[in-house]
Amino acid sequence: MANVATTAVHILPINELTPAGFAPFGEIVRPAAAGGQGVPSKHPDNPKLVLSSDRPRLWVMQLPHVGMGFSKMARHRRVTQCLGSLTGGEWFISVAPPGDVSYNARPRVEDITAFRIPSGHLIKLHCGTWHAGPHVSGAGDLFINLENEDTNTSDNQIVMLDQECQYKT
Q: Model confidence over 75-101: pLDDT tens digits?
A: 999 899 999 999 988 999 999 999 998
- Residue 19 is which amino acid? P
The hierarchical CATH code for the domain 4-29+47-167 is 2.60.120.480
How high is the pLDDT of residue 42? 66
**Which has more pLDDT, 169 or 74?**
74
How high is the pLDDT of residue 45? 72
pLDDT at 64 over 80: yes
pLDDT at 152 over 70: yes
3-state secondary structure of 4: helix
Q: Domain ranges in the chain?
A: 4-29+47-167
Average pLDDT for 134-147: 93
> What confidence tens digit (pLDDT) does each residue in 112-130 have?
999 999 998 999 999 999 9
Hey, which bits of 22-156 come out as E strands? 26-29, 56-64, 69-75, 81-85, 91-96, 113-117, 122-125, 130-135, 140-148
How far apart, in Å, do the first and last CA atoms of the chain sit?
27
Q: How would residue 151 be classed by pLDDT, with cut points 50, 70 and 90?
A: confident
Q: How would residue 1 be classed by pLDDT, with cut points 50, 70 and 90?
A: very low
Average pLDDT for 35-48: 71
pLDDT at 148 over 80: yes
pLDDT at 53 over 60: yes
Average pLDDT for 22-39: 84
Residue 23, phi-psi category: left (phi > 0), alpha (psi -120 to 50), beta (remainder):
alpha
